[in-house]
Amino acid sequence: MSELLKTAVREHKMAGRLGQIFVVAPQLELACGRVADFIGLRFQGEKDPLIKELLTRAVEGYKSARKECNPELAFLHGLFEYADRLYRRRHVAKQGEKYFVWLPMIESVTQFESKYQTMEIGTIAERCPDEITQHSAAFQLAARTLPGELFRQFLEDFDGSHRHSNREALAH
């Protein structure tokens, strides 16, 4: 398990809920670890740190889908549902009048934080100038964090291709 994920799970008292899911679907632990490594622990969501909001929503998605559909895909949809919150606020590093702003399309939040670790880092209530929908924000974060096969499954379910008759893989 990623160190940042361990810290987030411990700080937000989610070990019991996530532990049960990770035993059944260990690939989801890898996905959560990569998301935690991308976002870090300090990026603020609506009310709580964003990593907590994403993990909480993922667990809710998993539990609500257990009987109706694939719970692993529901977990992933929940995990990325609030990805657009990465673009609703700006992550900044400040030192006096000097400041640097995180660029979401260029680097992860954790890379930004380590680059400016000697400065005061926080989140301000200013939107990212990039135009991005909730759908594309979820896709962006999934593409950057999910391993190959899990990303393929997420993508096929996410983009609705499962509704089309020509979704079969092409023969070589």
Measured between alpha carbons, how far is residue 95 from residues 100, 133, 155 in Å?
A: 9, 32, 41
Kindly state the average pLDDT of the residues 158-166: 47
Q: How confident is the model at residue 52 (pLDDT cuts 50, 70, 90)?
A: very high
Of 134, 1, 133, 17, the residue nearest 75 (C-alpha): 17
pLDDT of 170: 34
Please check whether residue 42 is in contact with residue 113, taking contact to mean a CB–CB distance below 8 angstroms. Answer: yes
* Per-residue confidence band for 164, with pLDDT thresholds at 50, 70 and 90: very low
How far, in Å, CA of 102 to CA of 112, rounded? 6
- Determine how many CB atoms are found less than 10 A away from the CB of residue 10: 10
pLDDT higher for 29 or 87?
29
CA distances for 56 relative to 37, 64, 75, 119, angstroms: 17, 12, 10, 30
Domain boundaries, the chain: 3-87+130-160
User: Residue 126's pLDDT band (boundaries 50, 70, 90)?
Assistant: confident
Strands 90-95 and 120-124, by their bridges, are: antiparallel
Q: What are phi and psi of 9, to 5 degrees?
A: -65, -40
Q: Helix or strand or coil: residue 68?
A: coil
Cβ within 8 Å of residue 66, ≥6 positions away: none
Quick check: 69 pLDDT over 90? no
Q: Which amino acid is at 76?
A: L
Residue 163 confidence (pLDDT): 40
Predicted local confidence at residue 168, as pLDDT: 46
Which pLDDT does position 1 carry in this prediction? 77
Q: With beta carbons less than 8 A apart as the criterion, state whether 73 and 150 touch.
A: no
d(CA 98, CA 14): 37
